[in-house]
Amino acid sequence: MRSLTVTLSIFIVFLASVFSTAMADRIHQVTYGDTLWDLSIRYYNTPFHWEDILGANESLEGVEYLCPGSELIIPDIYGTTVSVSGVGTSVEVYTASLTSSRALLSRLLLETTGMVTNDPPPPVCYVVGTNVDHVDEYASEFSLPGDMIAMDIGQNQGVEIGRVYKIYNIGEEVQHPETGEILGKVIRVAGVCRVVRTSPTASVALLEHAYLPVIVGDFLVPYTSIAPVEVSSNGVVNGMDAWVIAFQNPDIERAYAFNIVFLDRGSEDGLQPGDVFNMYKYGQLFDSPTETTVITPNIPISSLIILSATNENSAAMIFSSSSIDIIEIGDRIELAREQL
């Protein structure tokens, strides 16, 4: 019996070593245009494990140091457990399964996207005071995380301590880049607050998260958790283009990776969260020595994921960029992957 147990143990160690070596030593040879986000999508079906790839390659100083021809270790992230049983023995061995997960975007990211709309969420109340916990000489016209704000509803409207609200800010009016049509106003998420004091007609809330300075006149709606979004890996069935019409960040003129932009297409056009758009550098004409004219293929230079959609517009995050070209308001993009 002792001999059988020892033999089984050696077999299990060998089996685990085989699994570990096969997965941990997965190697990718870098080609032109590769980004860690794209490689994360390729190997894990989600763009959000690029940091794991970076961490597994100590010689790679940063995402900008990818060199065509070099080799990257693609670490084991996901896995399943299988059992190896013997006489009176059951041992669990961890093995990798890189296709066992669907890509999910963080809830925090989804809850702060905002929208472009003519029909914003109906307010339940408004911010009527900022920095109400500060004495006058230290007060300011806006509140940041940790500050107290005053709201114009209270116990008479059923407000209770602990109630959570999302704060919206009404921004600029948006015109379509091509037609000039007014598409609505940018409604940005300014923050999230929690009620800490109430009176019959007003409440004071702690600003727990803030993505913009919260000011008097911002409106509030009850907080609701956002459902997760799966990033689509399906090819396009019906082609569609869209125009970038505004940015989530009001202080930028050009958008880079991780920035959120608003598009002129929405759920009425068939868009769903998780759909993916590409921005292309379109083909160019060249004269050949054979006295013919050739046109180069379109090259994708940026990819965007739809995070949320209203009837007529949507919000998308730029999740990869393989060129120095950056996205500006008025750029046209094309649907590359869509939910089925």
Query: What CATH number does residue 250 fall under?
Result: 2.40.10.340
**Cα–Cα separations (whole angstroms), residue 209 to 130, 182, 193, 230:** 14, 31, 7, 25
114 and 72 part of one domain: no
- Which distant-in-sequence residues (6+ apart) come within 8 Å of 317 by Cβ? 105, 109, 113, 258, 259, 260, 261, 304, 305, 307
How confident is the model over 276-295, as a mean pLDDT? Answer: 85
Quick one: pLDDT at residue 295? 85
- Which distant-in-sequence residues (6+ apart) come within 8 Å of 5 by Cβ? 86, 87, 89
The whole-model pTM stands at 0.67
Query: What CATH number does residue 149 fall under?
Result: 2.40.10.410
Among candidate residues 103, 128, 143, the one where a domain is terminated: 103
> Is 22 a residue whose pLDDT tops 90?
no
Quick one: pLDDT at residue 103? 44
116 and 213 part of one domain: yes
Residue 56 inside a domain? The answer is yes
> Is 10 a residue whose pLDDT tops 50?
no
| 137: confidence class by pLDDT, cuts 50, 70, 90 | low
Element (H, E) at 94: strand 89-96
Pair 81, 283: CB distance under 8 Å: no
Query: What percent of the chain lies above the pLDDT cut of 70?
Result: 79
The C-alpha torsion from 151 through 154 and 156 to 162, rounded to 10°, is 140
94 and 125 part of one domain: no
> Is 44 a residue whose pLDDT tops 70?
yes
Q: Which domain holds residue 271?
A: 241-337
138 against 309, higher pLDDT: 309
Nearest to 316 by CA among 269, 282, 281, 272: 272
Nearest to 245 by CA among 263, 259, 260: 263
* Domain tally, the chain: 3
| Cα 191 to Cα 168: distance, rounded to the nearest angstrom | 7
How confident is the model over 108-118, as a mean pLDDT? Answer: 87
- Residue 264 tokens, joined: 């002129």
| Cα 333 to Cα 137: distance, rounded to the nearest angstrom | 49
Quick one: pLDDT at residue 39? 83
Which of 141-155, 262-276, 309-323 shows the lowest mean pLDDT across its residues?
A: 309-323
> Is 116 a residue whose pLDDT tops 50?
yes
- Residue 10 tokens, joined: 């050696």
Query: What percent of the chain lies above the pLDDT cut of 90?
Result: 40
Read off the pLDDT of residues 166-218 as tens digits, 9 standing for 90 and up.
999 999 999 999 999 999 999 999 999 999 999 999 999 999 888 889 999 99
183 and 262 part of one domain: no
> Is 15 a residue whose pLDDT tops 60?
no
